[in-house]
Amino acid sequence: MAFEASTQLQQGEQTILLRDTSSGTTAEIYVFGGFLNAFNIAVQGETVNVVQGFTSVQDARENILNGFKSAKLSPFVCRMRKGSYHFNHKDWKVNKHYMGEHAIHGLVYDADYAIINSGNDETKAFVTLEHQYKGEDEGFPFPYRLRIHWQLESGNKLTVTTHVQNQGTEAMPYTDGWHPYFTLGGKVDECILQFDSNRQYEYDADLLPTGNLFADTRFENGSLLKGIELDNSFELRKNGSGCSLRNDRLQLQINPDENYPILQVYIPPHRNSIAIENLSGAPDNFNNKIHLLLLEPGAEKKFSTSYAVVWS
């Protein structure tokens, strides 16, 4: 068994290809955004890409705001009410991007990263990317470093680990997440979604949590997605079994670590894919404080999740 990690140029833009040469499975990572753009699984003579990504880096640069496909969510996730929060005896308002009257999906989804390490051996191929957020947005003037490590192993397993370090002189609030869209081919109506949660966060009309939880057991044993609309957050059980998406051919298994206790699930209107988002805290948690982290100067936090695909 052998693996390869190679850097490629696409119209002057760097991408990284992680390959399992035994199976033919590949993961395409964009240096722009630091995200997974394609995860191609080669089994039984067929290749299936389970990620709905972009056609090129240029396409990603031009259209990242159209659905935020695969985007890194940092230093806040999903919506922040009116882009405003109170922290350290001050009122702050971020400026980056708004959907309606609310800020959405953080400040670094369109960041450029540097490749600081890549390699391969008989058991894995990997790349580590780094971005320095310097406090450019006046609503979040706290500098921090993001390091993102992607690693491909046997069994069609891809793991992404994020290290965030506060590089400022003050404590800072923080929430981490990802926004990938997955597809097993065809409509998601043909898929069964299962994850280890029986509690959903109540949302108001603006899709912001009220702070209340209510019982939702639909997905404990798996539910066919036909007829189900989702743009909701769920509290995962500690030490649970993660999340799976399956149809009659494929199964995608998503296993977040304990630092991603919330699962956000969104089905877009076209229903050709489903966003399954691992989050370290709830939407708008700079205000509602649900799993909000406080990073002291120099402090570092790690978040990790893995994706694995098998034939059903």
The one-digit pLDDT tens for each residue of the chain (312 residues) are 599 999 999 888 999 999 999 999 999 999 999 999 999 998 777 899 999 999 999 999 999 999 999 999 999 999 999 999 999 999 999 999 999 999 999 999 999 999 999 999 999 999 999 999 999 999 999 999 999 999 999 999 999 999 999 999 999 999 999 999 999 998 999 999 999 999 999 999 999 999 999 999 999 999 999 999 999 999 999 887 799 999 999 999 999 999 999 999 999 999 999 999 999 999 999 999 999 999 999 999 999 999 999 987
Q: Is residue 312 part of a domain?
A: no
Residue 262 covered by a domain? yes
pTM assigned to the model: 0.96
What are the contacts of 236-239 at 24+ separation with CB within 8 A?
236/195, 236/196, 236/197, 236/260, 236/261, 236/262, 236/263, 237/196, 237/197, 237/198
Residue 276 falls inside a structural domain: yes
311 assigned to some structural domain: no
Domain count, the chain: 1
For residue 141, is the peptide bond before it cis, meaning its omega torsion is within 30 degrees of 0? no
Range of the domain at 34: 3-306
CATH assignment of the domain containing 44: 2.70.98.10
* Residue 267 belongs to a domain: yes
Is 148 part of a structural domain of the chain?
yes
CA atoms of 142 and 171, how far apart (whole Å): 8
The reply to whether 168 falls in a domain is yes
Reading the block at residue 118, the tokens are 């890549």
The H or E element that residue 85 is part of is strand 84-87
- Taking alpha carbons only, the member of 121, 125, 104, 97 closest to residue 29 is 125
Q: Distance between CA atoms of 257 and 264, rounded to whole angstroms?
A: 15
Please say whether the dihedral angle defined by the alpha carbons of residues 134, 140, 142 and 148, taken in this order, is positive or negative.
Answer: negative
